[in-house]
Structure 1
Amino acid sequence: MDAAMEITQQEGLEALSMPRLARRLGCGVMTIYGHVDGRDQLLNLLCSRILGGLELERTAGTGGREALTRFALALRERMLRFPALAHLLAQRKLWSPEVAGLVEWLLAELTADGRTLEEAVAAYRLVLAHTLGSVLYEIPRTGAEQEAEYAAWWRHTLADLPATAYPLLHAAGERLGEAPATGQFRAGIEALLDGLGSPRHS
């Protein structure tokens, strides 16, 4: 699994194959099949390994809103550090003991606040979708080189637009060229949770 993580970090998720992993480990492909059934299981194990390092304090009595906020921030940090996780969660149906324990805790905190189970599931799915979508947008714009390229792209794009016809775009150009940041993400989560409102069954 360490070798699989190295491949995905260095070359991307698409590069992770059984032959590629065997070459990295210096063994035959059939040796790999002695440990995993195939690439699907390998990807599930990879997801579990990455999620296992999620830095999230799960204490009873945290409260649904705080639990969802902690979850969103921790998951975002983990996906930005390991972009393969974001792509795995977006593309595949993945389940593991780590995921089960995490979702159980979130639902417990949300229902303890007075939400119905249906409301708790809806809140969890909404925050998950927002977090995943935000990170997939952030990944190609995160890092010094990517941030500089993103800002340059905006400058070049706006240079082709006449300021008289697009005055607001030009006025907002510097802000539009800023890479996404934690503050922006947190503001989005707060707005989302505000929109969910207080539990109706407290």
Structure 2
Amino acid sequence: MSLTQPVRPPRRRAPRNSLNPDRILDAAVTLLDRDGAEAFTMRGLAQQLGVGTMAVYSHFRGKDEISDAVAQRLLDTIELPPGGSDDPRSELREVCVGVYRLFTEHPSALELLAGRPQRGDDAIALIDRMLGLLRRAGLGRADAAHTHVALMQYIVGSALWNTRRARALCEEGARDRVRARIAGLPSGAYPALVELAPELLCAQSEGTGQFEYGLDGLLRGLLGGSPQV
């Protein structure tokens, strides 16, 4: 071996008999949030844990089973309001905000649940709760179904937009480049954008506040006066 060749330190291995499903799922959440669902592999998870790949297989049959378990674990972290309130609209709003926060705090949940929305009892229970609240808010059968889909599309789209934008703006100087680009636009060609640039940049940086602003407008429009059938 060449004396100039760098020597890799030995991989730290987990203590014997320390591996368990909870530890595997913790590592999977970390790996998924950091690298994304496309980069998630059993080998990568084993390296994250410091064990051999077959040690992971002794607890889970494969990547899909781990992904489903991660999705269920993350759904359990949603801060949901107590059920049975006298104000189903406010309760529905809290549910929507809770789902949005989960998706933005754990991008892996966004990828896992958006691609496999009806996997697991917790996901099904969440859908059932939202539909029930929409019915209690006065929507008919078809309107409740369409409104549920519209709300989930808004939640997923907002979370995806905000997480990707946050990653892009983490690059050094990215925010300054955006501001400089807008400031350099000719007002004659883009009058509305130039005029409202400060307000637009402020709105784009509000994160959850901007999401809630749009959610409130969406709920007002979708829950307005539909008779229950």
Partner Cα distance (1:137, 1:188) in 2: 14
- C-alpha deviation, 1:50, in angstroms: 0.8
- C-alpha deviation, 1:160, in angstroms: 4.6
Distance 1:82 1:198, change over 3 A: same
For 1:189, the equivalent position in structure 2 comes to: 215
TM-score by length of 2: 0.76
- Structure in which a larger fraction of residues adopt helix: 1
Tell which deviates more after alignment, 125-134 or 180-189.
180-189
Q: Residue type of the partner of 2:212?
A: R
Alignment of 1:21-32 (within 5 A): 21-32=45-56
For 1:132, the equivalent position in structure 2 comes to: 156
Partner Cα distance (2:82, 2:121) in 1: 15
Partner Cα distance (1:111, 1:173) in 2: 40
Unaligned runs of 5+ residues in structure 2 are: 1-24
Residue 113 (structure 2) pairs with residue 113 (structure 1)? no
SS at match of 1:177: helix
Residue 114 (structure 2) pairs with residue 95 (structure 1)? no
Q: Residue type of the partner of 1:191?
A: G
Partner Cα distance (1:102, 1:62) in 2: 19
Partner Cα distance (1:62, 1:79) in 2: 28
Identical pairs, percent: 28
Contact 2:100 2:155 in 1 (8 A): yes
- C-alpha deviation, 1:180, in angstroms: 4.0
For 1:82, the equivalent position in structure 2 comes to: 106
Contact 1:55 1:74 in 2 (8 A): yes
Partner Cα distance (2:140, 2:86) in 1: 17
Which residue of 168, 180, 189 maps to 1:165? 189
Q: How many residues are matched?
A: 202
Partner Cα distance (1:201, 1:15) in 2: 46
- C-alpha deviation, 1:114, in angstroms: 3.4
Residue 226 (structure 2) pairs with residue 199 (structure 1)? yes
- C-alpha deviation, 1:9, in angstroms: 2.9
Distance 1:28 1:175, change over 3 A: same
Q: Which has the larger radius of gyration?
A: 2
Contact 1:63 1:109 in 2 (8 A): no
Moved over 4 A (4+): 147-150
Distance 1:160 1:92, change over 3 A: farther
Q: Residue type of the partner of 1:108?
A: G
- Compute the RMSD of aligned alpha carbons: 2.6
Unaligned runs of 5+ residues in structure 1 are: none
- C-alpha deviation, 1:19, in angstroms: 0.4
Distance 1:37 1:149, change over 3 A: farther
SS at match of 1:142: helix
- C-alpha deviation, 1:82, in angstroms: 0.7
Partner Cα distance (2:43, 2:132) in 1: 43
Which residue of 62, 65, 71 maps to 2:95? 71
Distance 1:132 1:149, change over 3 A: farther
